[in-house]
Amino acid sequence: MAVFLRFSRGVDALNEWIARRVIWLVLVVTLISAGNAIVRKVFNTSSNGLLEIQWYLFSAIFLLCAGYTLLRNAHVRIDVLTSRLGPRATAWVDIFGTLFFLLPAAAMIAWFSWGVFLEAWQSGEVSANQGGLIFWPARLLVPVGFALLILQGVSELIKRIGFLTEHLAAPVTQYEGPSEEEALAEEIRRVRKLDANEGNAEGGAQ
C-alpha cells in the first residue's frame, strides 16, 4: 500500500504543478480578449487567429485543470446522499462512483479523442476561417486533459482505499475554503461596511 500511496502523492503533485502554471493562462486570455475588443472598436478590424486562440486557451484551462479540480474536490457534486453518511460510507460511495462512472467515462473520451487528434495532426487540419489556426494542438488538449483526470481519479481511489484499510489516518480532506460565491459575497459585505464607516465618519465631522 505504501507504493500506491507514493504514486498517489506523485499524481497529486503533478496536477498541482500543472495547475499553478496553467492558471496564468487566465491572465493571457483576459489580455487577448481585451485587446481584441479595443482593436475592433477603435480600428474596426480584428484577427480570426486571435479570436480562436481565446477558445484554445480556455480549453487548455478547463481540460488541463480537470485533475486538479478533482484533487481539490471542487467538481460539482450533489451530496444528497453523502451529506448524510459518515466518512467510511462516503469513501465507499466515492470508490463506487470512481470505478463505475468517472474512470470508464474519462477513459472512453480519452481513447476516442486521441483518434480525433491523430486525424487532425496527420491531415494538417486548419480552421476554415481566414487567418485561422491549425486544429491539432486544440485536439490534443482533450486526451491529455482526460489522461490527467484519470490519473487523479486513480489517486483519489488509492487514498480512499488507504483510509478504509487504515493506512491513512483520516479521509481525504476536502477544500475547506470559501467558494467563489461566498468569497464574492464576503467582499461585497466588506466594501459596504467600509462605505458605511466612511459615511458615518463624514457625518460626524460635519
Q: How far is CA 96 from the centre of its chain?
A: 22
pTM confidence score? 0.77
The three grid cell numbers given for residue 183, joined into one nine-digit string: 468569497
Task: Please state the φ and ψ torsions of residue 77, each to the nearest 5 degrees.
Answer: -130, 145
Q: What is the pLDDT of residue 203?
A: 56
The three grid cell numbers given for residue 15, joined into one nine-digit string: 496536477
User: What is the DSSP code string of 131-154?
Assistant: T--BSHHHHHHHHHHHHHHHHHHH
**What average pLDDT does range 61-66 have in this prediction?**
93
Q: What is the pLDDT of residue 109?
A: 96
Domain boundaries, the chain: 2-172
Number of H helices, E strands in the chain: 8, 0
Least confident of 59-68, 108-117, 159-168, 184-193: 184-193
Strands (E) located in 67-188? none
Q: For residue 19, what are the contacts with CB-CB under 8 A and spacing of at least 6?
A: 64, 65, 68
What pLDDT digit, counting tens, does each position of 178-203 carry? 555 566 567 677 777 776 666 565 55
Is residue 52's pLDDT more than 70?
yes
